[in-house]
């Protein structure tokens, strides 16, 4: 079974600084999809960024980028120029594609605090 | 606002009771997903429907059932409730069948408290 591990229960960063959230996963699949979701206090899960395993290039979305290391099964999220609005719980998620359809396997989450 | 509507937002009930959680997906989305978020288990996938048919099943208890109606809204029924069923239940929707081809849009969740 696929598992997703986020080893940092909490992280903090100063406004305008850079922070990296870690995620590792376990899978026997060669093609799969990885995601970072943000859950602010409003509770609603919001997609931050996604990565297809067959793509070697790391995904970027404005201030958010990932470091995808397929061999190491590592998928970290880097937030640059952190803003107060980035404070939230961040979840790493995995989808095996194919007949997994919409099933996402989530990590335990990392609470990110942004200090002004 | 994701466009996914869940009701009720909060629900308090007693052990042994039955509740129904409702989800209206975004306009045009055919897939509906149910997830459970608890302190013990984290975020867990329960079940997925696509255009009225069950397509994927996760760690959903036998006491729980779901369906998707012709108008595409979905209901999650939880029966014989136990204290451990207290959790935040999320509904999500997407246009396509597979998560790899698109984004899942989540509702704000239904907070269930079982006393």
Give pLDDT tens digits for A43-70: 888 999 999 999 889 999 999 999 999 9
Q: Which residues of chain B fall short of a pLDDT of 70?
A: 99-102
Residue in chain A lying closest to B42 (CA): A108
Note the pLDDT of residue B91. 96
User: What per-residue confidence (pLDDT) applies to B8?
Assistant: 97
pLDDT value for B81: 97
Low-confidence ranges of chain A (pLDDT < 50): none
Dihedral of CA atoms B77, B83, B87, B92 in degrees, nearest 10, equals -20
Q: From A84, A90, A96, A95, select the one nearest A108 (Cα to Cα).
A: A90
Check B42 against A109: CB less than 8 A apart.
Answer: yes
Nearest CA in chain A to B30: A102
Residues of A with CB under 8 A from a CB of B: 32-33, 42-47, 50, 52, 91, 95, 97-109
Q: Cβ(B27)–Cβ(B106) under 8 Å?
A: no
């Amino acid at each position: 079974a696929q598992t997703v591990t986020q080893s940092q229960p909490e992280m903090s960063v100063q406004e305008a600084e850079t922070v990296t959230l870690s995620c590792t996963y376990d899978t026997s699949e060669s093609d799969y999809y990885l995601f970072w979701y943000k859950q602010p206090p409003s509770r609603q899960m919001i997609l931050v960024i996604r990565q297809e395993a067959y793509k070697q290039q790391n995904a970027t979305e404005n201030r958010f980028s990932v470091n995808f290391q397929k061999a190491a099964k590592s998928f970290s999220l880097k937030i640059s120029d952190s803003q107060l609005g980035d404070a939230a719980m961040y979840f790493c998620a995995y989808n095996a594609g194919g007949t997994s359809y919409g099933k996402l396997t989530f990590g335990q989450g990392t609470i990110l605090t942004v200090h002004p | 606002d994701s466009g996914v509507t869940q009701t009720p937002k909060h629900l308090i009930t007693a052990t042994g009771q039955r509740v129904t959680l409702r989800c209206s997906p975004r306009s045009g989305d055919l897939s509906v997903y149910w997830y459970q978020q608890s302190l013990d288990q984290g975020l867990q996938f329960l079940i997925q429907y696509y255009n009225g048919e069950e397509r994927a099943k996760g760690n959903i208890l036998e006491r729980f059932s779901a369906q998707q109606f012709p108008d595409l809204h979905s209901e999650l029924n939880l029966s014989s409730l136990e204290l451990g069923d207290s959790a935040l239940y999320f509904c999500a929707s997407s246009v396509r069948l597979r998560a790899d081809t698109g984004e899942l849009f989540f509702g704000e969740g239904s907070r269930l408290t079982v006393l």
